[in-house]
Chain A
């Protein structure tokens, strides 16, 4: 099926070339990082993780979100999702690849990364995270490829693949739970030390991941005419709405616990993010309020059925939701965890230009992989008459 990549419109190749250009800028910046070290980033002794790890976290969520198509389709036999499901699985593949790239770019000694396998350490959550991510990549590649191959030959997928499909559902939950455990098990980080972290991760993933998927599918419909079906879009939007409402609810639970209990350690990260701490208002404050307002706004646009089902409003509502969830999880979560630092003081973090360049480069690589995979899927669908 890979040959489908070789036969495309000029526009497709210009698109790939454009992404390749951006990716090579990222690679260029990364070469600098290899030469000079992570000193070219905005990270510091006190804020020792930055944009790379936060993007890794965010895209684990995006990867996990494929389950929101797979679960209804295979557990509840919701046929309307069947047409779109391959797009979700292929998006998961590119998202997991991006996660792996973000991990590697964050390493101080990337050439030693096999040490994680050579010296397996079962007490480290990072060890499990590596395993579940690799496993999820394998499962999605296998399931996606086999079901697409079956679709091409107009036959039912082989029975044995069912096992992997069911496994992928459980696995999707596991990847984001384990990623949450990276954070939630650290005794000195107040903002992360919360039992609800994994639940927050999953709810925000199941809102933002399908929202990104739907935005891309809507763009695809414009560009190629591929229509996943009105009902499929509406159902997925309902799932996104519920997930986002739960996500906002979970966040408010954190706010209640921190402020009603009155415990300073629990309050400080939240006050730092929203008003500043110790007389120190950071640049994050504006971003966090933007996220809060956009989160509420997205719910206002998604909860009333009349607005939600209006396809002209929908892309805006989804876009707003994605921005809100990205700021919350791709920015605030990490910065709030490190500030205030273990000395209860504030060390500012802001990503540097090379750091942003590397990050955008990884986005571009992810989007390239996604474009190629989706092109294969759509061409096969065209041939098989399931477009």
Chain B
């Protein structure tokens, strides 16, 4: 088989292009290795678990101040703006029994239980529908069970909000920064057009601190490893009757309520 000049040039051209491309990729790799943030190291003080979970002992929360203290602690540390419209942002908030436990409407609940406020937040599900539907992996589940967001990758399609059965997600319809009274410089503020939600304080666990709401709850909210029988959450669950939100849909929420 004879090779024409034309075929030879084609093959030669392709080879040169291939070689050039692979060297360029190698060079890019080498540069990337030296960039800040290219290596991740776990800090010495970090708290670790196989499956982080939360138990809210609703019996220990009574006054309006109890809830306000917890909510403020979270919203302040995470720069959550207070926007007074339907386009609000909230990571942790309260509502009444029939709105929190929508599929458990006993007709004759005790008035105390019915009228009480309950804390709501992201459930950090075992099978999170939000993670399933996200088209860019901007929201993902970590090995320790925490469902987190990458605000820089989120395209703002809001599929996760349609997917979340718990209404735990908020979207920055506009720029959130004008609605912040004070900014905590230790945590990033968000830009308009991305979705956000509770992170189980993954950034605090990293430095050995418990979540802000847990810390502010005076023992009413417990936090620990669901896979460890000796953890405070497992002990509380073993000793008390607890419920979760919408158990029938198979998401396996990581937030338990002792009622």
Pick from B43-51, B66-74, B156-164, B227-235 the stretch touching chain A. B156-164
Kindly state whether residue B209 has any CB partner on chain A within 8 Å. no
B:72-122 near A, CB below 8 Å: 85-90, 95, 98-100, 102-103
Q: Chain B residues with Cβ under 8 A from A342's Cβ? A: 102, 164-167
Most chain B CB within 10 A, of A41, A113, A186, A338, is at A186
Closest partner residue, chain B, to A345 (CB atom): B99
Q: Which residues of A contact B172 (CB under 8 A)?
A: 37, 108
- The yes or no answer to A226 lying at the interface (CB within 8 A) is no
- In this complex, the member of A48, A110, A265, A338 whose beta carbon has the largest number of chain B beta carbons within 10 angstroms is A48
CB pair A344 B98 closer than 8 Å: yes
Of the listed stretches A62-70, A121-129, A242-250, A366-374, chain B binds A121-129
User: In the bound complex, do residue A108 and residue B164 qualify as a contact, i.e. CB atoms below 8 Å apart?
Assistant: no
- Tell whether A38 pairs with B173 under 8 Å between CB atoms, given A121-B136, A186-B133, A343-B99: yes
Bound Cα distance from A341 to B194, whole angstroms: 21
Q: CA of A116 to CA of B85 in the docked complex: distance in angstroms? A: 31
Question: Is there an interface contact between A124 and B171, defined as CB atoms closer than 8 Å?
Answer: no
| B204 lies within 8 A of chain A by Cβ | no
Q: Compute how far the CA of A335 lies from the CA of B69 in the bound complex, rounded to whole angstroms.
A: 35
Which residue of chain B is the closest to A127 with respect to CB atoms? B135
CB atoms of A48 and B193 under 8 A apart:
no
Q: Which of A36, A38, A43, A341 gathers the greatest number of chain B CB atoms within 10 Å?
A: A38
B133–A119 touching, CB < 8 Å: no
Binding site secondary structure of chain A: loop
Are the C-beta atoms of B129 and A187 separated by less than 8 Å?
A: yes
| Chain B contacts with A in 122-141, Cβ cutoff 8 A | 129, 132-138
Please report which residues of chain A, range 119-155, place their CB below 8 angstroms from some CB of chain B when the two chains form the complex: 119, 121, 123-127, 130
Interface residue from B86, B156, B195, B250 paired with A187 (Cβ < 8 Å) = B250
CA distance A338 to B175 in the complex (A): 24
CB distance from B55 to the nearest CB of A (A): 22
Residue A119 contacts which of B153, B162, B173 (CB distance < 8 angstroms)? B153
Assess the A112–B135 pair: CB atoms within 8 A.
no
Q: Are A36 and B86 in contact (CB under 8 A)?
A: no
Is A337 positioned at the interface, with any CB of B under 8 Å from its CB? Answer: yes
A126 and B135 within 8 A (CB): yes
- Determine if B155 is an interface residue (Cβ-Cβ < 8 Å): yes
* A107 interface neighbour in B88, B89, B133, B155, Cβ under 8 Å: B155
17 additional A-B pairs beyond A46-B86, A119-B137, beta carbons within 8 Å, are: A37-B174, A38-B156, A38-B173, A39-B87, A44-B87, A45-B167, A108-B158, A108-B192, A109-B155, A119-B136, A130-B135, A186-B163, A187-B129, A188-B165, A189-B165, A342-B165, A343-B167
In order of increasing CB-CB distance, the 4 nearest A-B pairs are A108-B156, A188-B165, A108-B193, A44-B86
